[in-house]
Amino acid sequence: MQRKNIKSVLEKISSGDFTADEEIISKYWIHQLNPKIASGYSDDELERVSNEMWIILSKEKEMQPAKVYRLWPRIVKIAAAVVLIIFGIYFFNYHPHKAAQTTNLTTQKVVPGTIGATLTLANGKKIRLADVGNGTIAQLAGIDITKTANGELIYEIKNNAGSIQEMNTLTTAKGETYMVILPDKSKVWLNAASSLTYNATNFNQGKRVVELRGEGYFEVAKDRAHPFVVKTTKQEVEVLGTHFNINSYVDEPTTITSLLEGAVKITSGQLKETLRPGEQSILKNGAMQISLADVDADIAWKNGEFIFEGQEFKSLMRTIGRWYDVIVVYDYEPENLHLGGKISKYESIQEVLDLLQGTGDVKFKIEGRRIRVIK
DSSP 324-368: HT-EEEESS--SS-EEEEEEETTS-HHHHHHHHHTTSS-EEEEET
Question: Which of 16, 12, 17 minimizes the C-alpha distance to 74?
Answer: 16
Confidence band of 364 (pLDDT split at 50, 70, 90): very high
What is the C-alpha to C-alpha distance for residues 255 and 233, in angstroms, rounded to an integer?
9
Residue 7 has pLDDT above 70, yes or no: no
- What is the H or E stretch that residue 210 is in? strand 208-219
Is residue 364 within 8 Å of residue 339, measured between CB atoms? no
Which amino acid, 69?
Y
What is the C-alpha to C-alpha distance for residues 14 and 73, in angstroms, rounded to an integer?
7
Summary count for the chain: helices (H), strands (E): 8, 26
Q: Is the pTM of this model over 0.75?
A: no
What is the C-alpha to C-alpha distance for residues 357 and 343, in angstroms, rounded to an integer?
14
pLDDT tens digits along 10-27: 454 444 444 443 334 443
Please compute the mean of the pLDDT values over residues 211-221 and round it to a whole number. 98
Residue 167 has pLDDT above 60, yes or no: yes
CATH 3.40.50.300 correct for 114-297 = no
- What is the H or E stretch that residue 60 is in? helix 43-61
Question: Which of 297, 180, 178, 317 minimizes the C-alpha distance to 247?
Answer: 297
pLDDT tens digits along 249-282: 999 999 999 999 999 999 999 999 999 999 999 9
DSSP structure class, residue 266 = E
Pair type for strands 176-181 and 152-157? parallel
pLDDT in the model for residue 277:
96
Residue 218 has pLDDT above 50, yes or no: yes
What is the C-alpha to C-alpha distance for residues 105 and 253, in angstroms, rounded to an integer?
32
For the chain, give the mean pLDDT.
Answer: 79
Domain 303-374 CATH class label: alpha beta
Is residue 267 within 8 Å of residue 238, measured between CB atoms? yes
Please compute the mean of the pLDDT values over residues 107-124 and round it to a whole number. 88
Numbered ranges of CATH 2.60.120.1440 in the chain: 114-297
pLDDT in the model for residue 161:
60
